Amino acid sequence: MRIIAKRSESKKLSSNILTIAAEAREAKKLNPNVIDGTIGTLYDEDGKMLEFPSIKKIIDSLSYAEKFGYASTAGTAKFKEGIARWALMQTYDDVTKDFYYGVIPTPGGSGAIGNTIDNYANEGDSILVPNICWGPYNAMAKERGCSVKNYELFKDGQFNTEDFKKDALELAEKQGRVLAIINDPCQNPTGYALEDKDWDEIIECINEISKDKTFVLLYDMAYIDYSHKGLNESREIFRKFKQFNENVMVVLAFSGSKTFSLYGLRIGAQMALTKDKEEIEYFNNANEFSARATWSNAAKMGVSLVEKLMFNDALKNEFMKELEDASNLLLDRSKLFLKEAKECGLECYTYKSGFFITIPCNGEKVFDRLKENNIFVVPLKQGIRISLSALSKKEIANLASKIKEVL
């Protein structure tokens, strides 16, 4: 007789990045020459977790109650506006002329994604995601009684709009609604970023489907603040979103973990944009309910941080400069890796910017071989993911040729 519920019998993580990262850390303690390219955490050139002085300044100034008291499940008006203004930046006034919006504080971007699947996919639905993506999308879908439908991410090194449209149309006909997740820019795990022409075709497809069906675009913007386009230009995409019709909802998944370099604090936000005011009321009610029923409330320290940072121009400008420096550090690391990869003939999926780069290969087999050579990466079905964010330029030097040799 099974004690566990029937729906949970098949639950088992096939690959846990955090477990692999822990193994890599232990190996590095025994051997400082171990290359640990596993975890999606930004480290400085001395191998220490990168700390933003402006963020530390705010946290140090918070009272005990501002750090550890209960936060509101729904979020305060100040938090909501602060998140909306940060997410949209210079497009805020333009976008909010056409859209109503709602914001719910969440435990990291993961909470925003899970909450969205909870409330915008029916049980038994398939969620549209690319075949190369962040693995937990699959687990989050399964946890909520859903599955995923994978379209091919790339065609000739560019976004495969043709396959996206084909699968979106199939799901719309089958389900009467579509929930699609797009992680852009700095896609995890490839570092890819969509071009304007890709978005034009995606928006056209979504508008065609939503003439008589509903469409929810879950825009996972976890790494947007590290885009090669910079903080402002990366937000220009939101002006394009104004082209969506009334049957489309865009949900932004914001990750304070990445933006503030506060990974363990678990602060994020779920933000909806839609032209239908009534849908924002449904969004607020349903997602506040799910938040209360799942994690109760977000971390008070994270909520207080957002409220202090977003309305202090001096601190915000200081932080934006620190973010720019961090983004440039990542770009320098990626340029070094890609240059050496080209020189030694190591193939990479198309990379633009971000924490990760991915090498197409038999991920599991190459993972084991690299580990034997003191190189820890994350195995995927379609390759191996290397965290540039976790490696110094010294560690990146000659890494491409070492991987090529193992391949």
Q: What gap in Å lies between CA 396 and CA 398, rounded to an integer?
A: 6
Q: What CATH number is given for 6-52+316-406 in this structure?
A: 3.90.1150.10
Mean pLDDT of 122-129: 97
Do the Cβ atoms of 356 and 191 come closer than 8 Å? yes
Predicted pLDDT of residue 13: 78
Residue 268 has pLDDT above 90, yes or no: yes
Rounded to two decimals, the pTM is 0.96
Q: Kindly report, as residue ranges, where domains of CATH 3.90.1150.10 are found in the chain.
A: 6-52+316-406
**Distances in whole angstroms, Cα of residue 113 to Cα of each of 109, 119, 143, 254, 258:** 6, 10, 12, 9, 15
DSSP alpha helix (H) spans, 6-143: 17-30, 53-61, 64-68, 77-88, 92-98, 108-120, 136-143
Over pLDDT 90: what percentage of the chain?
A: 93
35-36 vs 375-376, strand pairing mode = parallel
Phi/psi of residue 24, each to 5°? Answer: -65, -40
Q: Chain centroid to CA 358: how far?
A: 16
Peptide bond preceding 185 in cis form (omega within 30 of 0):
yes
Over pLDDT 70: what percentage of the chain?
A: 100
Q: What gap in Å lies between CA 190 and CA 349, rounded to an integer?
A: 6
Least confident among 28-37, 167-176, 233-242, 392-401: 28-37
Q: Kindly report, as residue ranges, where domains of CATH 3.40.640.10 are found in the chain.
A: 70-312
**Tokens (6 digits) for 193:** 């970023």
**Tokens (6 digits) for 366:** 């190459």
pLDDT in tens, 306-327: 999 999 999 999 999 999 999 9
Predicted pLDDT of residue 130: 98
Q: How many CA atoms lie within 13 A of 177 on its CB side?
A: 15
Mean pLDDT of 138-156: 96
Predicted pLDDT of residue 2: 87
Phi/psi of residue 253, each to 5°? Answer: -105, 105
pLDDT in tens, 343-353: 999 999 999 99
Longest Cα pair distance anywhere in the chain, in angstroms?
63
Predicted pLDDT of residue 355: 98
Four-point Cα dihedral 217, 267, 15, 44, nearest 10: 110
**Distances in whole angstroms, Cα of residue 358 to Cα of each of 54, 100, 284, 385:** 32, 37, 37, 4
Mean pLDDT of 166-178: 97
DSSP alpha helix (H) spans, 151-216: 161-175, 196-209
Predicted pLDDT of residue 173: 97
Residues 6+ apart with CB under 8 A from 28: 34, 36
Predicted pLDDT of residue 15: 66
Mean pLDDT of 89-93: 98
pLDDT confidence band for 401 (50 / 70 / 90): very high
Q: What gap in Å lies between CA 184 and CA 384, rounded to an integer?
A: 20
Least confident among 32-41, 91-100, 267-276: 32-41
| CATH top class, domain 70-312 | alpha beta
Residue 28 has pLDDT above 90, yes or no: no
What average pLDDT is seen over the chain?
Answer: 96
Q: Chain centroid to CA 381: how far?
A: 19
